[in-house]
Structure formats: structure tokens, C-alpha cells
Structure 1
């Protein structure tokens, strides 16, 4: 068994298909099949349930995948440590919640200063991005904090206020029993705040419609489909136009803090270190030189 065998196994497990894994890895299909069979012989156990449409991990395969993910993540981390240079360069993978409006300013400043960094952004909800940072899939992420996790360190970026957004100028909690709530998928901290508030008030929403993007949610609110909850700064331009209206959210659900998180035991590359320094400069003008 070698690392390449584990990568092949990991890819087959991800796609549930030898052919798809072969395309992803740029291998011939027969080579992928042979390596999986060799791995199974070496471990003295089948790793997949095989069926006409692909392959599904069995219990032993799921157990091996946990080890494989950990081993390969550590190996990739090791390469970063020894390949890192003092000048920020290479790929920097950052997660974001879509409502971080200060991000363009920060990214523009960072990329102007460090043009050799290839910045990759992945949008998601807080819970998902947190897990991807923990799993070494992201170098860091902007999420809603504070985050309570033993493997995570965090840097406060800014604070904002949540508001209820509707097309109408008036709003009461009773509206939620009449109109649908338009929310991000599970794992969104704004949604969790909204649900906690309604639970305390003893209000059951008429209906919750889940969306994956900010633009779709706000566009649907503006069309009169329903209500949502977002940071006030993200919709200020629409409120000035009169397209939508914002309504106050009570304490302790109103204030939200955006933080940048990273796994504390991961190697601090020069690119990540420079990125954190840039965050500090943007969020605290006194640090500017």
C-alpha cells in the first residue's frame, strides 16, 4: 500500500465509480480497478458493494476512508510546510459566506500586494465551511462567529446587525405565519438565529423555502415571495432604492460577528500569514503603514 493507492481509493469512494475516478485522476480505468483490488487483497477485506451503476463503500471501506482522509490531509500539509517560501505564492483556498460585503476591498488589497498568490474562493454556510477548515480542505474561511471548536483559532473581522427583509414597509411577527421564510440551507447561522427567536416567541413559520444563493433570496423577497433575515449592510443599496424594506431584530439575536477561522495546528504558510495581516489592516485602520 502507498499514498497513491489511498488517493485512488479516496477518489473512487468520492465518485462511487471507477470510470469517473479514472477521469479525475487521468488514469486508465483498468489501472484504477487493479489498484482497488490490490488494496482489498492487502487488507484482506472487500471495501465496496459493487452494483451495475457503480460502487458504494461498505463498513470496512468507510473505516478506511476515515484513515485515508486523515493520512492524505497530513501529507498535503507536510508538502506545504517544506514547499513554503517567505514570499506569498501558490494556491490559497478560502471559504466565504456570501454576505461578507467587506471581502472585495480586502481581496483587492491582498492580490495587489501579492500577485503570485492564486486565490480560490468557495461559498457556503458557516457549518459547512467550518468542517472543511477542520478537514484541511480550506486554508481558512470567513464565517459567522464566535466559533467554539478546540481545533479552530479565529480573528474578528467586523460586527453587523441582522434585519428582517420584506417587500412591504410594515412588518409584524404574525406575518411569518402568513408568508414563507426564505432562508439559506441548514448550517447557516442567520437561519439558526431566526429559528431560535421564533421558538422563543412560540411562532411556527407558515413555510420555509431553502435557497443556496443570496441573490436568489433577495430577488425573491423583492418579488413578494416571502421574508428573510440577513445583515443590514448587504441590502442597504436596495433599501435606498425602495425595492425592499428592513425591520429591526431584537436582542440577543440582532448582532452578528464575522470571523476568519483557520485550523490552529495547521502550518501557517506565508500566504495565510500575509492574508491574516491584511485582514487586520482592513479591519483596524490604525494598523495601516
Structure 2
């Protein structure tokens, strides 16, 4: 049994089709099929139910998948554990919410200094990113501080002020309450804060509209579609250009921390250790005042 066979098995289990996995590994489909058949022969059991819509795991396949994930995770940790402490290598997969003010300087500093690390960045909302770190799908993530799972440890990145933004028309706060609320999907820390404010004010938003990117939200607000609740640092340039206006809410709702989370029980590899050091260095080099 080879590690590559286990990698292929895990990916087929997750994607449900041989064709997608063949593209991922740049193999012909027959190669993927033969490796799965070889694994089944070696274990003397069927791992998949085959049907016209794809492949689903048998009970034996589900049992193997659990062990497979553990084996491949330990293999990855083993490789990382023998890295040169000062010259990290290998993959580093980081998640982030869309509004991390210092992210460009952190990434630029890290990538220029540690060129042998293959760093990938994935965006999402806090709740989703927390789940992916817990499930070992990400090495760490920049998220909004909350009550995290006990298996996670957090490193403070910076403090932020959230502001309610609207277009340039004149509004009273009561009028803003009636505007459509433009936001990310459920699980976003900023959305949760404004929803708490709405609740405390006994307000039911007239309309909630979900968007996939910050850029779309900001452009929509500037055109008068509705209001949103975002970090002040991410819209300072638009406020200065007269495209939007900012409205402050009490500290209870507006003061927030961005943190970097990782699993507390995984080996602290050289690549992730140096990434955390880079975060700390960026805080000293360019402190943010609110």
C-alpha cells in the first residue's frame, strides 16, 4: 500500500468521481481506477458503490477514510517536523476573512523571506474558517475574535473599529435602520455584531442581502443599495473620496479584534512558527491606531 494510493482514495471519496480526481493529479482516468482497484484487492473488500452518478463509499470505505485521514495527516506532520528550522519548506494553507488590514504586508514579508514555502490563501467567514482549521483543512486562519473551540489557540493581530456605512445622502440613524443590510453569509463576525445591535434596538431589518465579496458590498453601498457594517480601515479611502459616509455605533458593537487561530494540539512546524513570527513583526513595524 502506497501513500499515493491513500491520497487518491481520499480524493475520490471526497469528490465522488474518478474524472475530477484524474484532472487534479494530471493522470488518465484508467490510472486512478486501477489504483482504487489495487487498493480494494489488497484489502480484499469493496470500498465504493459504483453508479451512473458517481461513486459513494461502502461501510468499509467509510471506515478506511477515517484511518486514511489520520495517516496522511501524520505523514504531513512528519515531513514538516524534519524541516530546517530557519528555512521552512512545503505547503502552508492559510484562511482569512476579507478585511484583514495588515494581510498584504504579512504575506509579502513572509513570502519574500521564506521562498521555499508554497503558501496558499483561502477566504471565508469566521465560522467556516474556524471549522476548517479544526478539521485540519487549513494550517491557520485570520478571523474575528469569538468564543473559539477549546482545541484552538489564537494570536492577536490587531484591534479594529467597525462602522456602519451608507451612501452620501443625508440620513438620521433611525432612517439608516430601515435601509437594506448588505453583508456576508451567516458566520461572519461583522454581521453578527450588527445583528446584535439590531436585536438590542428591537429592529427587524427590512431586507438582508448576502454578497460574496467585500468589493461588491462597498460598491453597492456607494450606489445607495443599502448599508453595511465593516472595518473602518477598509473604507477610509472611500470616505476620503466622498463615495460613502461612516456612522459610529457604541463600542459594545464596534470594537473588535482580528486574531490568527491554529490548532493547539498539532506540531508547530517551522513554516507556521515563522508565519506567526511574521505576524508579530508586522504589528511592531506598523501599529494600527483606532
Q: More deviation in 195-204 or 205-214?
A: 195-204
Distance 2:84 2:131 in 1: 24
- Residue number in structure 2 paired with 1:170: 171
Report the TM-score when normalising by structure 2. 0.86
Asked if the contact 2:83–2:89 (Cα under 8 Å) also holds between the matched residues in 1, the reply is no
User: Can you list the C-alpha shifts for 1:180-218, whole angstroms capped at 9, x where unaligned?
Assistant: 211111221111112222223222222221111110111
Distance 2:129 2:159 in 1: 19
For structure 2, the 5+ residue unaligned runs are none
Asked if the contact 1:169–1:245 (Cα under 8 Å) also holds between the matched residues in 2, the reply is no
**How much does 1:146 deviate?**
3.9
Distance of aligned partners of 1:113 and 1:244 in 2 relative to their CA distance in 1, 3 Å threshold: same
- Residue number in structure 1 paired with 2:76: 76
Distance of aligned partners of 1:210 and 1:59 in 2 relative to their CA distance in 1, 3 Å threshold: farther
Within-5 A mapping of 1:183-194? 183-194=183-194
Distance 1:199 1:66 in 2: 42
Report the TM-score when normalising by structure 1. 0.87
Q: More deviation in 207-216 or 162-171?
A: 162-171
Q: Secondary structure at the match of 1:252?
A: helix
For structure 1, the 5+ residue unaligned runs are none
- Residue number in structure 1 paired with 2:119: 119
**How much does 1:246 deviate?**
1.0
Q: Secondary structure at the match of 1:71?
A: helix
Distance of aligned partners of 1:250 and 1:82 in 2 relative to their CA distance in 1, 3 Å threshold: same
Q: More deviation in 204-213 or 61-70?
A: 61-70
**How much does 1:271 deviate?**
2.5
Q: CA RMSD in A?
A: 2.7
Distance 1:215 1:264 in 2: 34
Q: Secondary structure at the match of 1:284?
A: helix
Distance 1:238 1:144 in 2: 23
User: Can you list the C-alpha shifts for 1:107-150, whole angstroms capped at 9, x where unaligned?
Assistant: 33333433443432222211222222222222221111145222
Q: How many residues align?
A: 286
**How much does 1:67 deviate?**
3.6
Asked if the contact 1:171–1:247 (Cα under 8 Å) also holds between the matched residues in 2, the reply is no
**How much does 1:37 deviate?**
4.3
